[in-house]
Amino acid sequence: MSEVVMPRLSDTMEEGTILRWLKADGELLARGDELVEIETDKATMTYESDQEGVLHIIAAEGATLAVGEPIASVGGHDADAHPTAAGADSAPATPAGDGAGPAGARAPVAPSPASSSAPGDGERVRASPLARRIAGERGIPLRTIAGSGPGGRIVRADVLAAGEPSAPAPPPSAVQPPVGAAAGEPLAAPAEVSTAKGATRELELTRTQQTIARRMAESKATIPDFALSIDVDMEACVALRGELKALAASARGGPEAIEGIDTPTYNDMVVKACALALREHPRANASYRDGRVQLHSRINVGVAVAADDALIVPTVFDADEKSLGEIARETRALAERVRAGTITPPELGGGTFTVSNLGMYGIASFTAIINPPQAAILSVGALAPRAVVRDGTVLARNTMTITLVCDHRILYGAEAAQLLARVRALLEAPAALTL
C-alpha cells in the first residue's frame, strides 16, 4: 500500500483543497488516470495518478491539507483483497470539513481529550495550516483541542467549535441560540447574523482571494512605493489598429473578421511597448529579495485579468521577442483560460512586470498595487477623446493616462520617469511595435 500525498503544483504552493475526486473509492487506477481536482493558491488543476492499483480515499472533497499530507492510498489490483477506505460497516461517517474523510471513507478515530490536549512537550500538535492560522488569530491553544481529522489531526471545524475561551460569555438576553441549537452548544461562525447594521452575511474567501489579500497586504505594508503619471496621445495607435483590423478583414474574407484574434487591442500595444522599454531599462525588470536587487534576463509581462470575484495575472513570457500579433493571440487565450478556470500555475508564475488596465470600465486613471517582488506595475486608464492644445489650437485627440507605480528600493524617480517616457514614445510612434 503506497500513499498519495498532496502534490506541490506550484513553486509557492503550501497547501491545497480537494475540490473533486475524479475516481471513486475502491476503483482500480492506472498510471496517467485523472485522479483529483485540486485548488491551489493560484489555480485549479487536475492531478494525474502516477501509481496503479485500488484507490482508497483518505481526504474528503473540500478538505484543505498541507503539501505532503496523505490524501489517498493505492494498493493491490483487487478491491476485494484489500481493506477499503470504507472500513467497517458500523463505522460512523466523518463530518465534512478540512481533512475529513468522504462519504463512505474510513472514519478516523478521534483521540481522547487527554491525548489531544496534553501531548508531550516535544511533540508537535497535528493541525492543518488553516486550523493553525485561525487558532492563532483567536488565541486558542491547539493543545486544548481534540482533532477530528485523519489520525486526530486538528482541522478548521475543530477550531471553530472550540470557540474563544478567553472571551467573556455574553448575557443570555444578548444572544439567542438558533432554532434547534442546544443551550451552551458552541457554534461555528454563522452564515448570517443580525446586528445594528441589519442582517449581515459572512462570506468565506476562496483560496485565490485569500492569496490576493495576503499578497496585497504584504505589498502595502513592506514596499515603499511612489507613482508617476503621464498622458499619451494615442492617435497613431488608433490609426494602426484600424489598419490592422482592415487587413484582418481582408485576409479572412469579410467584415465579420474585423475583431478576429489577429487584431491586437490597445492593451496588447501597451504590453509590447512596456516589454521594449524594459529591454532598454533593465533595472525596472527586477525584483527585491533579502536586501538585494535581482535583475532578470527574460522580460515576462503579467496581464491582470478580472475573473469571478478575483484578479488573476497570467504571464506573457519573453514579450519583448514576440510580435504584436503573437501577444494578441496569447493574451486572449490566457484571458479565456482564466475565466474558464483552466489556467495552470506555470502560466501564472515567472512575471517580472505587470500591466493592469481598467480603461474598459471608463476609469480615467488609477494607482495599482505592486505585485511583489516585482519592481513596478503600470496602470492603464481609458482611451477617450480629450481637448489637447496643438500649435495654439485646441483639438480633440484620443488620449490615455498611464501610471507607473514603483518600488523605491529598486527604482528612483529619474529612472522611473525615463521608463514611462519611453513607453509613451513607443505608443505615440507605434511602428516599432510591429517590427
Q: What is the CATH number of the domain that holds 359?
A: 3.30.559.10
| Residue 163 and residue 281 in one domain | no
| Residue 221 and residue 153 in one domain | no
Question: What's the average model confidence in pLDDT over 120-132?
Answer: 65
For residue 229, is it within any domain?
yes
| Residue 58 and residue 112 in one domain | no
For residue 34 the three cell numbers come to 485523472
Of the candidate ranges 106-110, 216-220, 328-332, 430-434, the one whose mean pLDDT is the lowest: 106-110
For residue 185, is it within any domain?
no
| Residue 268 and residue 411 in one domain | yes
Identify the band that residue 188 occupies on the pLDDT scale cut at 50, 70 and 90: very low
For residue 188, is it within any domain?
no
For residue 49, is it within any domain?
yes
For residue 198, is it within any domain?
no
Closest CA to 42 of 283, 348, 319, 252: 348
| Residue 268 and residue 142 in one domain | no
pLDDT score, position 180: 40
Res 273 pLDDT > 50? yes
| Residue 227 and residue 284 in one domain | yes
Give me the CATH number covering residue 130.
4.10.320.10
Largest Cα–Cα distance of the chain, in whole Å?
A: 90
Full domain range(s) for residue 148: 108-167
| Residue 242 and residue 347 in one domain | yes
Give me the CATH number covering residue 48.
2.40.50.100
Res 349 pLDDT > 50? yes
| Residue 316 and residue 224 in one domain | yes
| Residue 67 and residue 137 in one domain | no
364: CB partners within 8 A, 6+ apart: 381, 382, 384, 401
| Residue 299 and residue 378 in one domain | yes
Q: Which residues are catalytic?
A: 408
| Residue 331 and residue 271 in one domain | yes
For residue 288, is it within any domain?
yes
3-state helix, strand, coil in the chain (%, to 5): 30, 25, 45
The total number of structural domains that make up the chain:
3
DSSP class of 183: T
E strand or H helix that includes residue 357: strand 353-357
Identify the band that residue 11 occupies on the pLDDT scale cut at 50, 70 and 90: low
Closest CA to 277 of 434, 435, 405, 433: 433
More confident residue, 168 or 366: 366
For residue 173, is it within any domain?
no
pLDDT score, position 214: 85
Res 120 pLDDT > 70? no
For residue 372, is it within any domain?
yes
d(CA 407, CA 293): 11
| Residue 71 and residue 216 in one domain | no
